[in-house]
Amino acid sequence: MNKSQIKRLGLYINSELVESKKEIQQIRQLFKYLSKFYPKFTSKKLNKEVVFSEIYQEPTADINKANRLNGRLLSIVKYFIQNLDEGSDFISKYFNETKIYIQNKNEKLFYQTINQVKKINKNDYPHKSFFFNEYLIEHEITEFKNLYNQRKGDLNFVSTLEKLDQFYYSKRLELILDLLAQDKFSSQLDISDPIEFHNLIGDLFKDRLSSTNPIFKIYEEAITMFKSNDGEAYEKLIKLLSKHSHLITKEQNQAMHALARNFCIAQYNKGHLEYLPKAFKRFQHDLEHGYLYYQGGILMSTMQAIVKLGLRCGKQKWVGKFLEAHKDKLIGTRDPEAIFNLNMAELRFSQKKYEDCLDLIEDNFEDIHYKISSKRLEIKAYYETNSPLLESRINAFKIYIFRTSDKVIPKTPRIGNNLFIDILKQISNPSSFKNESRIKKIKSKIDQAKSLADRQWLDEKLEELK
């Protein structure tokens, strides 16, 4: 729950609406106590015995009694959530009104209310229910005309179908784009049927609807970008977002900018090095415009992407300032300190402070992505310091990748990390030093790799062998 919802919940719990609840004073005390630890709820003071000793002022907590009180508060919270109206369903309140006017054949009040709903829906634009509400409004008019239009003239079917098509097309574009984005990270999906069907009907909708709302063009360009790895579509998408960002919701803006960033990263990972500065520029832009923040924090994956891209672009000073500014803003992890330290280790590595880097690396990550990243960074630091531990760490990493299930490490990162190991072994082999033929073969392997972890660093290490 966000801060606004917590505040409303507090007002509800302290209102007369729950006055009859058993142990209401203790329930209110419990809510007040728990609220102090929002939003992380990680304090040791949240131990059940500590909490209920505080509430009941007893030296030892009666666990059964504590559980009952906890259950009573939980039931109140659940009821509140089930009846939480965030305003997205405002239209149903007005339709309760129009149904009365339909029953009483009151055309004047019916259309007054309908026009009011139309105005609210447009004034509140952009919002996620806009197209659905537009359809519901026209359908309500059709219901009214169908009942009381005795001459059976225009019953509003054309307008209703048009709004239905807009809603359907907007939702279909959204889901197809999500499907294509997921397919980039999972090769186990068979998306041929929905894509084939979309190709069949897409042009029909595109010709009719693209000009009616910018959101359609934005989604269409994003889909083209993903389907064909089209750099031109990427540039068009960025221009459309720049021009029409005020016409789409914050969530849609965040999603579209995330897709644009991911496209740049994917292109860079495929060896298109011109996308490195583009990707970093996108992150800087999105950070400045607030698109990277969720509930006031920044996701651990976003932090890592910014740090790695910034360092590869030589922006060490900028990355250092970014990390310090976001040290306490990491979300999406149970161990923000370890994630922050890993990113700081990346910065220290780029500054050639290898011992500091190694001191910051931990190996107790729950997320496989960060476990792999930490192991790879450790190997790189051992390589740079000519550590005798290098070979054993490389072999251990190879075994780890091999033994870990495909469900845990997907195909693409598995290939990329295995290639990293194989190429680094070849680079670190003494016979590669000053060996022009061998260096050329390794370079070809790097350039031809579709997926390769730490491609740029491997390129630099290979260059040093010449």
Structure tokens, 45: 């003071």
Residue 14, in any domain of the structure: yes
Mean pLDDT within 5-20: 86
Residue 177, in any domain of the structure: yes
How many other C-beta atoms can be found within 10 angstroms of the C-beta atom of residue 18? 16
The residues, ordered by sequence, that sit 6+ positions from 54 with a Cβ below 8 Å of its Cβ are: 33
pLDDT per residue over 353-402, tens digit each?
A: 999 999 999 888 888 999 999 999 999 999 999 999 999 999 999 999 99
Report whether pLDDT(457) > 60. yes
Residue 334, in any domain of the structure: no
Closest CA to 349 of 422, 457, 466: 457
Report whether pLDDT(44) > 90. no
Average pLDDT over the chain reads: 89
The residues, ordered by sequence, that sit 6+ positions from 324 with a Cβ below 8 Å of its Cβ are: none
Q: Express as a percent the part of the chain with pLDDT over 70.
A: 96
State whether 138 and 67 are in the same domain.
Answer: no
State whether 48 and 111 are in the same domain.
Answer: no
Report whether pLDDT(150) > 80. no
Structure tokens, 142: 């059709």
State whether 171 and 235 are in the same domain.
Answer: yes
pLDDT of 187 reads: 56
Structure tokens, 411: 């195909």
pLDDT of 82 reads: 73
Cβ-contact 238, 191 below 8 angstroms: no
pLDDT per residue over 156-180, tens digit each?
A: 999 999 999 999 999 999 999 888 8
Report whether pLDDT(185) > 70. no
Cβ-contact 427, 462 below 8 angstroms: yes
Query: How far is the CA of 96 from the CAs of 84, 100, 110, in angstroms?
Result: 18, 7, 11
Picking from 49, 82, 115, the residue at the C-terminal end of a domain is: 82
Residue 432, in any domain of the structure: no
Report whether pLDDT(88) > 60. no
Query: How far is the CA of 258 from the CAs of 17, 229, 269, 282, in angstroms?
Result: 43, 16, 16, 9
State whether 75 and 146 are in the same domain.
Answer: no
Mean pLDDT within 200-222: 86
Q: Express as a percent the part of the chain with pLDDT over 90.
A: 51
Structure tokens, 127: 């919002």
State whether 112 and 234 are in the same domain.
Answer: yes
Question: Residue 299: phi, psi to the nearest 5?
Answer: -65, 150
The residues, ordered by sequence, that sit 6+ positions from 166 with a Cβ below 8 Å of its Cβ are: 131, 134, 135, 209, 212, 213
Q: Write the secondary structure of 104-144 as one string of H (helix), E (strand) and C (coil).
A: CCCHHHHHHHHHHHHHHHHHCCCCCCHHHHHHHHHHHHHHH
Mean pLDDT within 222-230: 86
- Tell me which range, 45-49, 75-79, 145-149, 351-355, is most confidently predicted by mean pLDDT: 351-355
pLDDT band of 191, cuts 50, 70, 90: confident
pLDDT of 3 reads: 84
pLDDT of 241 reads: 93
Which long-range CB contacts under 8 A does 144-149 form with residues at least 24 apart? 144/98, 144/102, 144/107, 144/110, 147/102, 148/105, 148/107
Which long-range CB contacts under 8 A does 93-96 form with residues at least 24 apart? 95/136, 95/140
Structure tokens, 330: 């990491």
Closest CA to 220 of 164, 169, 279: 169
Residue 191, in any domain of the structure: yes
Mean pLDDT within 316-333: 94
State whether 180 and 256 are in the same domain.
Answer: yes
State whether 238 and 134 are in the same domain.
Answer: yes
Residue 12, in any domain of the structure: yes
Query: How far is the CA of 126 from the CAs of 122, 166, 401, in angstroms?
Result: 8, 15, 46
Question: Residue 219: phi, psi to the nearest 5?
Answer: -65, -40
Report whether pLDDT(252) > 70. yes
pLDDT band of 49, cuts 50, 70, 90: confident
Structure tokens, 32: 């007040």
157 vs 407, which has greater pLDDT? 157
The residues, ordered by sequence, that sit 6+ positions from 31 with a Cβ below 8 Å of its Cβ are: 9, 10, 13, 73
pLDDT band of 111, cuts 50, 70, 90: very high
Report whether pLDDT(104) > 90. no
* Domain, as residue range, for 59: 3-82
348 vs 53, which has greater pLDDT? 348
Cβ-contact 286, 293 below 8 angstroms: no
pLDDT band of 85, cuts 50, 70, 90: low
pLDDT of 302 reads: 94
Closest CA to 275 of 243, 313, 304, 307: 313
Structure tokens, 449: 């790799």
Report whether pLDDT(436) > 70. yes
pLDDT of 18 reads: 84
State whether 59 and 110 are in the same domain.
Answer: no
Residue 324, in any domain of the structure: no
State whether 128 and 215 are in the same domain.
Answer: yes
pLDDT band of 93, cuts 50, 70, 90: confident
pLDDT of 367 reads: 87
Report whether pLDDT(94) > 90. no
Domains identified in the chain, total number:
2
State whether 168 and 60 are in the same domain.
Answer: no
Picking from 226, 256, 291, the residue at the C-terminal end of a domain is: 291
DSSP string, 52-84: HHHHHT-SS--HHHHHHHHHHHHHHHHHHHHT-
41: region left, alpha or beta (phi > 0 left; psi from -120 to 50 alpha): left
Q: Compute CA 413 distance to the chain's CA centroid, rounded to the nearest angstrom.
A: 19
Residue 357, in any domain of the structure: no
pLDDT band of 226, cuts 50, 70, 90: confident
Rounded-to-integer distance, Cα 326 and Cα 315, Å:
17
State whether 157 and 251 are in the same domain.
Answer: yes
Flag the least confident range among 72-76, 148-152, 324-328: 148-152
Flag the least confident range among 53-67, 126-140, 204-218, 389-403: 53-67
Picking from 246, 263, 291, the residue at the C-terminal end of a domain is: 291
Query: How far is the CA of 87 from the CAs of 16, 53, 127, 352, in angstroms?
Result: 23, 39, 11, 53
Flag the least confident range among 84-88, 234-238, 418-422: 84-88
The residues, ordered by sequence, that sit 6+ positions from 106 with a Cβ below 8 Å of its Cβ are: 100
pLDDT of 410 reads: 84
State whether 228 and 274 are in the same domain.
Answer: yes
